[in-house]
Amino acid sequence: MTAIKRVFMVDGKPFFPIGGQSCNSSGYNALEAEQAFKIVKMLNGNTLEIPVYWEQVEPQEGKFDFTALDALLASARRYDMKLILLWFASWKNGNMDYAPKWVKTDTKRFKRVKAQSGKDVWDLSSHCKANMEADKKAFVALCKHLKMKDGANRTVIAIQIENEQGIIGSDRDYGPEAQAEFDRPVPAKLVAAMKKAGKGRIYDIWQKSGAKKSGTWPEMFGFEAGELMTAWSISCYVDSIAEAGKAAYDIVLYTNVWLMEQHGWVRAGESYPSGGGVSKVLDIYKWYTPHLDFIAPDNYQLDSKGFEEVCANYAREDNPFFMPETIGDPNMFRAMADFNCLGNFFFGVEILLDPDGVVRPERQTTIDCIRCTAAAAPLLLQYQGTGKIHAFVQEDNVPTWEKELDGFSILAEYGDKRAPWSGKDWRHRTPGWMPVPQTKFKPAYGLVIQSSKNEFYFVGANIRFFLRPQLTPDTVGSSQLIGDSISQNFSFIVSVDEGHFDNNGEFVIDRKRNGDEIGRRGFWVEPDINVLRVITCD
Ligand code: DGJ
């Protein structure tokens, strides 16, 4: 059992945010945002992530305009949806595209990062106090405005500060202020934290570099010093903004990460922004961002191994695990079942439909995954961390999934290979009742939740479950095990119901199954049935 820190709350109750993130330009006006709201609603999602832009909010220094934000609040309430705002400010994907014009053009006051060549990089320097103070002032104005307009409703449940911060174009800032910092001793607080930890990536880099008691950044950290100093500097910058923002309005604050876990070259400042909260420097971020609720990975990994590696790196005891951007594939079930993910969002929801409003066929799996998650949200809130939730995701060439549960063995078959006697009902049965060669790979995925010994909940797609009581010496060889090849469901069934959860978390039956559609032919699950509940008895 893992203690879960539920960061997201609505009306005093734990909340599981699920939905999508809009495309980058959809927050500029309500008309643009409309499509994103509509699609999250279609997904049965409860939350839209959408940007708020520093350049739009403060077009002239000190003059704030929150018209676009107010329109977003009104739309969200109309759609009965929550918002997570993304503060696109000093950094967006390792650059400074969303800083206002008066910041971009005043390079004397608002210093940019200098590359080793002495040339400007398209990044605000984290070593320039004026940059941080200007961003902070605007962020505090945003928080105060939200408190006034949304303090009672709490339509906005969290704010992401910056977006994938860090430097693209250099491993560090080589300007005079940054250079002076580089040549100063590493802060004593960092050295003490590292020693206290006694393990971890930063600790290991320090050990490899000679484990000196004190020294400048390069003396302490060798060739990784540039990235580590930048991570320290940017995490302090972001935390200072978070501290001021939280003081103005108490709300969940976090920052997201362009990851270093990827295929290809891995170089700070080149293949990912140097100074962002990548797993290598996550310890520094945790030591220096006490005002952020968590650091969140944008998990676009497609392969299950890579995906799980990211989950493992960020789901730490000191870091509640949330994925603000994903590719929306079935791996998300692993994140929720095995890593207690607190919520996840598909990036770019608008692309799920074509301009005529028709689902793009290649996006159906994403739509189904989000719908399944939305259907299971009350179960996730109740059972994450208890060991009762199990995810299955089909891998190439693997036809089944097996698991020992409390008192039961479960066998799940992927796909439709038992089509002729599948027992699926007329809505899902293969036309003609005849086996159809499996030419296209349609993935199976989902969750099994055993809430008590004889109660099971299922969500997912393209799967059929068989349950049987665990074998004991006296049941081996008994008649209970006799059956033909399709009769593996040896449990005594009380009821099999499709349904959903109401606002009080109670299961509401929408459709009952019996006869051909249950039992010996297995319990099939598809996304459009919401949740399947199976009750067994001894
Ligand atoms: C990650 C960023 O955080 C998003 O804003 C967007 O740019 C996506 N990448 C897609 O490219």
Domain CATH code at residue 95: 3.20.20.80
Residue nearest to atom 9 of ligand 1 (CA): 93
- Compute CA distances 176 → 131, 180, 214, 405, whole Å: 16, 6, 22, 61
Contacts of 459 (CB under 8 A, 6+ apart): 372, 373, 375, 376, 446, 447, 525, 527, 530, 531, 532
Answer yes or no: is 50 within a domain: yes
Specify whether 363 is located in the same domain as 444.
no
Specify whether 421 is located in the same domain as 320.
no
Q: Which of 362, 383, 404 is the last residue of a domain?
A: 383
Specify whether 462 is located in the same domain as 504.
yes
Contacts of 502 (CB under 8 A, 6+ apart): 508
Residue 426 is predicted with a pLDDT of 65
Q: Which of 383, 414, 448 is the last residue of a domain?
A: 383
Q: What DSSP line would sit under 492-521, residue for residue?
A: EEEEEEEEEE-TTS-EEEEEEE-GGGSGGG
Specify whether 313 is located in the same domain as 442.
no
Answer yes or no: is 49 within a domain: yes
Specify whether 351 is located in the same domain as 449.
no
Specify whether 329 is located in the same domain as 441.
no
Pairing, β 455-461 against β 463-469: unpaired
Answer yes or no: is 455 within a domain: yes
The residue whose CB lies within 8 Å of the most ligand 1 atoms, and thus the one to mutate among 21, 22, 23, 24, is: 24
The residue whose CB lies within 8 Å of the most ligand 1 atoms, and thus the one to mutate among 258, 325, 346, 350, is: 325
Whether the predicted model's global pTM rises above the 0.75 cut: yes
Residue 136 is predicted with a pLDDT of 98
Specify whether 106 is located in the same domain as 51.
yes
Answer yes or no: is 360 within a domain: yes
Q: Which residues of the chain carry a pLDDT beneath 50?
A: 418-422, 432-439, 478-488
Answer yes or no: is 208 within a domain: no
Please give the distance, rounded to the nearest whole angstrom, from the Cα atom of residue 327 to the centre of ligand 1: 11
SS (HEC) of 444-495:
CEEEEEEEECCEEEEEEECEEEEEEECCCCCCCCCHHHCCCCCCCCCCEEEE
The rounded mean pLDDT for the chain is 91
Residue 228 is predicted with a pLDDT of 98
Please give the distance, rounded to the nearest whole angstrom, from the Cα atom of residue 24 to the centre of ligand 1: 8
Q: What range does the domain containing 526 cover?
A: 390-537
The residue whose CB lies within 8 Å of the most ligand 1 atoms, and thus the one to mutate among 22, 163, 323, is: 163
> Order of strands across the sheet with 408-414?
400-404, 408-414, 463-469, 523-525
Report the CATH number at residue 523.
Answer: 2.60.220.20
Specify whether 325 is located in the same domain as 470.
no
Residue 298 is predicted with a pLDDT of 97
Specify whether 249 is located in the same domain as 302.
yes
Cα–Cα distance for residue pair 44/35, rounded to 1 Å: 14
Which residues have C-beta atoms less than 6 Å from ligand 1? 24, 93, 163-164, 298, 325, 347
Number of domains the chain is built from: 2
pLDDT tens-digit profile of 337-348? 999 999 999 999
Residue 520 is predicted with a pLDDT of 65
Answer yes or no: is 223 within a domain: no
Specify whether 98 is located in the same domain as 237.
yes
Residue nearest to atom 5 of ligand 1 (CA): 24
Specify whether 396 is located in the same domain as 362.
no
Residue 490 is predicted with a pLDDT of 64
Specify whether 88 is located in the same domain as 235.
yes
> 524: how many CB neighbours lie within 10 A of its CB?
26
State both tokens at 515.
């006869």
Please give the distance, rounded to the nearest whole angstrom, from the Cα atom of residue 93 to the centre of ligand 1: 7
Q: Which of 357, 383, 409 is the last residue of a domain?
A: 383
Answer yes or no: is 69 within a domain: yes
Answer yes or no: is 184 within a domain: no
